Amino acid sequence: MNTPSLLGILCYPDPRLHTVARPVAAVDERLRGLIDRMFATMYDANGIGLAATQVNVHERLVVIDVSEERNQPMVLINPEIEWASPEKRKGEEGCLSVPGIYDGVERSVAVRVRALDRDGQSRLIEAEGMLAVCIQHEMDHLMGKVFVEYLSPLKQGRIKSKLVKAQREALRS
Ligand code: GNR
Ligand code: NI
């Protein structure tokens, strides 16, 4: 197969990151083409996950690879959380749409998620550790939520100013 072309990643505070995604209607060749381009974009950016929202496609689709070797691609289509552990833990998060910003977010330590795979087969995914964190982070994107929204208004304001300034300067150079 040809190398899939890369997609542009929206940067916070782009208002399009707050769009709520609609369910994927059909797992077909169009969708598999988009999935391949999302993986290429995620691996190119050294991310462990990418939600369709971040590439301005507002459908419930996520790609993930939390493996060290970057050889365990995972696709979640129309994911729904069936169970989230009441036990939570605070961990450091980053986001390809919020470059250079890292801060602590509380997440359930384990989740069970129902989703379709790239063949349209229904799967139950039992996740803990980094995979559980990543799935919750990506599913927030599909709901139009970016991790910085868990931080204090003061921090959010500082992050916004910093990124707006950085994007202005990137545009000028
Ligand atoms: O690459 C990513 N790393 C990461 C680290 C800690 C918690 C969540 C993530 S997801 C992020 C990629 C991304 O922005 N996905 O939406
Ligand atoms: Ni993200």
Q: Has this prediction a pTM greater than 0.85?
A: yes
Alpha carbon of 76 to ligand 1 centroid (Å): 15
Task: Identify whether the C-beta of residue 82 lies closer than 8 Å to the C-beta of residue 112.
Answer: yes
CA dihedral in degrees (65, 20, 4, 11; nearest 10)? -80
Per DSSP, what are the bridge partners of residue 147? none
Instruction: State the pLDDT at residue 164.
Output: 98
Bridge-based pairing state of the strands 49-51 and 103-108: unpaired
pLDDT confidence tier of residue 107, bands split at 50, 70 and 90: very high
Alpha carbon of 95 to ligand 1 centroid (Å): 5
**Calpha distance 64→135 (Å, rounded):** 8
Atom of ligand 1 nearest to the CA of 46: 1
pLDDT confidence tier of residue 83, bands split at 50, 70 and 90: very high
| 137 touches ligand 1 (CB under 6 Å) | yes
Residues 6+ apart with CB under 8 A from 169: none
Alpha carbon nearest to ligand 1 atom 4, residue = 94
pLDDT confidence tier of residue 2, bands split at 50, 70 and 90: confident
Burial class of residue 55 (count of CB atoms within 10 Å of its CB; 0-12, 13-18, 19+): buried
